[in-house]
Each structure stands twice: as C-alpha cells, then as structure tokens.
A and B are shown apart, each in its own frame.
Chain A
Amino acid sequence: MAASAQTLEELARHAEPRWPWLAAVANFARRRPLGAVGAGLVLLTAVLAATAHLIAPYDPLANDYGAMLAAPSAAHWLGTDAFGRDVLSRIIYGSRTALTVGLGASLLGASLGSLIGVTSAYFRGRVDLLAQRVMDVFFAFPVIVLALAVVAILGTGAGNVILAIATPMVPRCARVVRASALAVREMPYVDAARASGFRHQRIILRHMLPNVMAPILIMATAFLGEAILLEASLSFLGLGVQEPTAAWGLMLRGAAVEFAESAPWMAIFPGLAISLAVFGFNLFGDSLRDALDPRLRTQ
C-alpha cells in the first residue's frame, strides 16, 4: 500500500484546516470506514463506563422482587434477571468491569512482555537464550491452567483477574517485541549510545523501547479485546469477578442458563454487549495496525 504517497496527498488537500484535529478524524473515517465504526464502539464503551452512575436507569445491585425475570418493557428496557435487577443497568455498569480488567491486563501484559523482549534482544547471548527458553515454557503451558492457577493462588477479584489474564500475554508480547528489538539493536544510534557510555537501563528504556512502540501498541490493542473475552470466560466459570458486581460474563452464568427458555433476554443481551465491545476494539486495532505498520501482522 502506498501509504506515504497517500498521506502526502491528503496533507496537501487539508493544508490549513480550520480545526486540524476534527479534519484528521474526518479523514480517518473516510479512509478507514471500518476503523471508524470500531473507534465509535470503543468510544461508546468508554463513555458508558465513565458515566455509568449518571445514565444507568437503576441501581445495578438493587433487587426488585416484584419484577423478577420480567420481560423487556418500558420500565426495564432489557428486562430483569432472577433477582429482579435491571439488565440494562447491569450491562452499563458491566462496561466498567470489562474496561478496567481489559485495560489493566493488556497494559500489564504488554508492558511486562515488551520490557522482557527488549532486554533480551539488547543483551543477546546467554540472557536472550535463557529468556527465550523460559518464554517457551510459558508458551507450552495451557493458557487456562495458568489463569486458573493464578486465581486459585491469589483468589478471585478484579485485581487478581487482571494478573491472571496478563500472565499468558507476557510471553506472546515478548516474542513479537524481541523480533523488532533485534533489528533496532543493530541501529547506529544504539551503538552511539553504547559508545557514549550510557548505562544499559538508559539505552533499553530511552533508546530502544520508544523505537519498538509500534508493535507494542499493536499487541496491546489486540490484547484488549482478548482480555475482555477472557475476563468474561473466567467470570462465566465463577473464577473471575464475583457477585454481586456487574460483569458481562457473570450475567451469562447461572440463572441466565437455567431460565434461558423462559427469559432469553438474560442470556442474549450481555453476550451482545461482550461481542460489540470486543468487535469495536478489534476493528479499531486492525485499522491502527494498518496505519502504524502495514508490514506487521500479529494474527
């Protein structure tokens, strides 16, 4: 793709827009319609999470025993669950859980992974070999067992779920970032930094890390959707966030399955919320990947 030529052309066309920021957004939307849809969904999730306490029609934890398993109506747009809690409000509040765990896990996994990847590429030799072998072990280890073990050791709860989800992401990110960092390692500016007698820490953090930011960003956005899915799976198994917290995976568990025939809204809407949010993050991530580095493909 002749990205640079296109960009230049676009730049010339929008030489002096009145609102440069707005023009950039409009430009992105026109060139990457799918990416714009993704960005819109991401924005929607973020806004829902940020303003949950203002826009949710009901308290997500409040039981209304008069309206248990009520079908969608004007009062409860998406119906209520087995405890008479409003499904819409729980979905809105659930976006907080999804975003917290998703952002936390992907940031933690990507930053730890990239640090290991860059360090191992920088030192090469024995350090690199050892790091690679350790990563191989984690690779061969079944993801779900790793997550189960972390939860079993530390207990359930949002913080531990973040840790459990981030753990399997570390080696994957380390492997991709290491490959890019190996190329950066050969750059003259790294030689120059070494010749100037900078400490290892400074070269790794200030000279190498910023130059492998593109693959790191791409990995982090790809992880975000996956983390939200994993959180939902863990919560669905009862190993993630615990009741009565509003979380999408949790809403699909228990009563949602039991009463699936008589109250299908309990099983349908939270799953739809998961799919739409992850769909948005993936679309957005895809376009970001194309924009940042068309050569790099992680999937």
Chain B
Amino acid sequence: MGYYILKRLLAMIPTLLGVAVLIFLLLRVIPGDVVEARYLTQGSQFQSQDLMDQERQKLGLDKPLWKQFTAWMGGLAHLDFGLSMWTSAPITEEIKLRFALSLQLALMASTIATCLAIPLGILAAIKQDTWIDYAVRVFTIAGLATPSFWLGTLMILGMLIIFKWVPPMVFTPIWVNPWDNLALLIWPALAVGYRYCAVGTRMMRSTMLEVLREDYIRTARAKGLWLKLILTRHALKNAILPVLTVISMEFAFLLGGLVVTEQVFNLNGLGMLFVEAISHRDYTLTQALVMLVATFFLVINFAVDIAYAWLDPRIHYR
C-alpha cells in the first residue's frame, strides 16, 4: 500500500508537467499579450512601441520561451507563484479570497447534492419501475438539462418578484459574518447542487440496482433480515463507491468550472478569475490557476482511489 501511494504520487509529476507545458504554450499561442491588453484599456500610458517593449522587458516577456518556462518551473519548485502580470500583486494574494469563496461554494453544493442524491437514488432503486422511480428519473434528467445559470436567474427573479428581496451582492467571508455569507452563497449552491445531485442520484440508483441483484442480498433476505438493515448494512456499503467517485469528480470540477454561475450571482470566485486572467493575457496568473485546479483534480482522484482500498477490502493495490 505504501509503495502504491508513492507510485501514484510520483505519477502526478509527469501529468502536472504536461498540464504546465500545455497551458504555457496555449497562452503564448493566443494572440496579444498583457502589455497589449493593458494598452487597449489604458492607452495613454503606452504612447510608443519603445515603451511597450520596455514593459515587456520588465515582465520578462522578451526572453526566449524555454527561459520563461524554466524560470516559471523554478519558482513552482519552491511554491513561488510569482506576481500577477496585470496587477503586479503576489498571485497568492490574488487567489486567496477567491479560492475561499469557490471552495466554500463547492463544499456547500456537494453537501446539498450528497444529502439528496443518496436517499433519492436508493428510493428509486427499491421502487424500480414504479411511479416513484419515474418521478425521480424525470427529476434527475431535468437536473442534467437545466443550465444552472438559468436556474440561478430564475431564483433571483423569483425572490425579487415574490419577496421583493435580493440576496446580498458582496461576498463576506464566513468568519466575518456567517449570516451574510450564507444568505449570498446558499442560492448558487442550490442552483449548482441540483445538477450535481442529479449526477449522484443516477449513479446511486444504477449501482444500487446492480447490488440488489447480488447473491448476498438474496441470502440476507432469505434469512429474514429487515429490509432497512439489508439496505444500510449490506447494500449501501457496496453500492456507494461509484457514487463517491462521481461526487468527488464533480467537486473537483466545481472549483474551477463555475464561470457562468458566478457571473449570474455576481460572485468573484475562481471561475471569474479565470476569465479575467485569460482576457487580460495575464500569463502568470492563468498558469498558477490552471496548476492549482489541475493539482486539486489529481489529488482528489488519488484520494478517491485510496478511499476505495480503505472502504472495500476486496480491492488491493500493488
């Protein structure tokens, strides 16, 4: 097991390196750079080509690509993300609050989704092909079909028309004012959680159906065990693993993928930061963000695999 963990951790390095090369090159292929982007918004500062070149020199954009890449990698090696090219502030400062927001939102959405998905999925599986099952399926497929940004718009609109109330538009960290914080974040968490719960419910239903056909379930029923006990002790334990996978994969996706929902709720999370960073051609910030999200994704993937071995004694990793 120890050897397996080490092997998996080492295998992350080439993948991350690949991600680094890809984003590094992608950004340089995108036409324009940060100096040009700044020129377009605050033109007066850069009257001449010379001034622009000077600025590029200051940012190190005139150096050959391999030098820029190795300089970036050198910084990453001791966890130094560098300065944002657009604001010149340290990237850790730029990311900190926004990461907190995205993380909290993702956690809230997954809590909502998990609490709904597991009971709903089990219910649909036990009552397969009854109207309950159909209702759950329609509910979940509708969840997959409804764009969360539209659901968000409808929520805001509904609250505005019915209650004449709009959620606060400024983010306050939960440690400052928990009430304001939750009043803002609960709505996007619900909007995103619906889709998320749909994914989980579908998985729960299909793995549960599979497990319920296993011999050991039949044995348990034959010896007259309570259905409730069979479900919680025997079936759920075996059916929950794939659900765990989709829920954690979806969680990793939420961290960086909520661009549109953030826009609707006027949240400054990682998703909006991505869009800003790319449109500003802020190479250093975009690179740092991509590495952060990719690392998160890989770590969650890894954690899920370890959890599998831990929860299911039949699985052994070598």
Contacts and interface: CB of A to CB of B under 8 A. Distances in A.
A299 interface: yes
A145 B278 contact: yes
A77 interface: no
B26 A144 contact: no
Interface in A267-287: 267-268, 271, 274-279, 282-283, 286
A299 B147 contact: no
Nearest to A281: B145
A141 interface: yes
Contacts of B202: 299
Given A149-B278, A260-B153, A267-B154, A278 B260 contact: no
Interface string A202-232: 0000000000000000000000010001001
Interface stretch (A16-24, A105-113, A132-140): A132-140
Interface range, B side: 35 or more
Contact of A144 (B19, B138, B203, B271): B271
B298 interface: yes
B23 interface: yes
B240 interface: no
B149 A233 contact: yes
A163 interface: no
A278 B145 contact: yes
Interface string A144-167: 110011001100000000000000
Interface stretch (B50-58, B67-75, B106-114, B156-164): B156-164
B290 interface: yes
Contacts of A145: 23, 256, 274, 278, 286, 289-290, 293
Contact of A233 (B27, B145, B147): B147
B257 interface: yes
Contact of A142 (B203, B257, B279): B257
Interface string B99-136: 00000000000000000000000000000000000100
Contacts of B154: 267-268, 271
Interface in B22-80: 22-23, 26-27, 29-31
